[in-house]
Amino acid sequence: MRRGRRLGVDGGEARIGVAGSDPDGLLATPVETVPGRDVPAAQRRLAELVAEYEPIEVVVGLPRSLNGGEGPAATRVRAFAEQTARRIAPVPVRLVDERLSTVTATRGMRASGVKEKKGRARIDQAAAVVILQSALDTERSAGRPPGQCVEVVV
């Protein structure tokens, strides 16, 4: 397992959930929810978080269908990840499968008594935690970084 903090991102259209890990890459925790409708402002805030947390990488959840296919949401997230990678280079950005992360996060929030309407921003953070924790666990068990690295074309 590589040592160093990571940031996890759940890139929704309205809100972007952000999570962070400890330096040992053991535990993902919520960081904040960034408004997502103004993409340039969201990119700036993510760059600020990268400067603040100094992660070794940023892990972005790639929405896939249950059969593994990609639709319009995945296309949007791939473009977002490429923009993010260009902005925060040389910090690498990795795309990881995020199937059911929001469902898992929502169930966990409901189980802890958070109402859906009041907890939407927190659900996005919780989804980012699920994405990042899954990536950390995958790296720990597989011995290599999860997902695929986003190539930055200069």
Q: Please state the domain count of the chain.
A: 1
Is 42 strand, coil or helix? Answer: helix
Is 133 contained in some domain? yes
Is 31 contained in some domain? yes
Is 53 contained in some domain? yes
Is 77 contained in some domain? yes
Is 36 contained in some domain? yes
The pLDDT assigned to 128 comes to 94
The pLDDT assigned to 103 comes to 58
The pLDDT assigned to 12 comes to 85
Is 18 contained in some domain? yes
The pLDDT assigned to 126 comes to 87
Segments of the chain with pLDDT less than 70: 99-119, 121, 154
The pLDDT assigned to 61 comes to 95
Please give the residue range of the domain that contains residue 125.
6-149
* 44: CATH: 3.30.420.140
The pLDDT assigned to 112 comes to 66
Is 154 contained in some domain? no
Is 15 contained in some domain? yes
The pLDDT assigned to 146 comes to 93
For 23-85, the three-class secondary structure string (H helix, E strand, C coil) is CCCCCEEEEEEEECCCHHHHHHHHHHHHHHHCCCEEEEEECCCCCCCCCHHHHHHHHHHHHHH
